[in-house]
Amino acid sequence: MTGISIRAELQIREAQEQLRGLIDRMADLRPFLNAVGDRLIGSSGDNFRNQSGPDGRSWTPLAPATIKARQRKGQTPITILRSNSKGRIGSALAGSINKEVGDDEVRVGSPVEYAAIHQLGGTIHKPARVAKIYRRMEKDGSIGRRFVKKSKANVVSDVTIPSHTITIPARPFIGISGADEAGILEDAENWLSR
């Protein structure tokens, strides 16, 4: 042969052994899926701390009524989907994110009943209902305008609360961000190269 030639020699046995090892590793995805689940749980915690979704967009601020209600309860009104009550930081929702690893999938989610409406947003329809309000009668016979605890009340009234709707904006806390995608690829490379 005139000109130039290149000779390549393939080490078939070595390549087959490496390929066999790779196939054996791929038969059990659980270690990889476990790492992905841990990554997404950590990412979800970051979303709660940053008060933003996986896409980086900030969550809708709290409604003024929610802020006032938190202040009345002695909670810090500025955090979204988390409260600071009686020295405990966090919430049942933020602390409930978990994973389930199967043979070929990982699920990351929350068993908390109200998780879905906060993740996706939605409208809650509250039917009309009867409730009791507790007030205190003063010594002069007048009834105070403020509500009191049941234990301090001496006047109980039944009131009808009309039907109404509550709209909760979507505040996604679970998802895959661009950084998560890159990290998952890195996890896959690390898992396959072991």
Q: Quote the distance between the C-alpha of residue 53 and its chain's center.
A: 9
Q: What is the mean pLDDT of residues 60-78?
A: 83
The string of pLDDT tens digits covering residues 12-60 is 777 777 778 777 777 888 999 999 999 999 999 999 999 999 999 999 9
The string of pLDDT tens digits covering residues 102-142 is 998 999 999 988 999 999 999 999 999 999 888 888 888 78
Tell me whether residue 99 is exposed, middle or buried, using C-beta atoms within 10 angstroms of its C-beta: 0 to 12, 13 to 18, 19 or more. middle
| pLDDT score of 182 | 94
| pLDDT score of 174 | 95
Whether residue 70 has pLDDT greater than 90:
no
pLDDT tier at 169, thresholds 50, 70, 90: very high
Structural domain boundaries of the chain?
Answer: 12-119+171-192
pTM, full prediction? 0.73
| pLDDT score of 1 | 54
Mean pLDDT check: name the lowest of 18-27, 56-65, 86-95, 169-178. Answer: 86-95
| pLDDT score of 87 | 47
The string of pLDDT tens digits covering residues 92-101 is 788 899 999 9
| pLDDT score of 86 | 53
Most confident of 1-5, 111-115, 148-152: 111-115
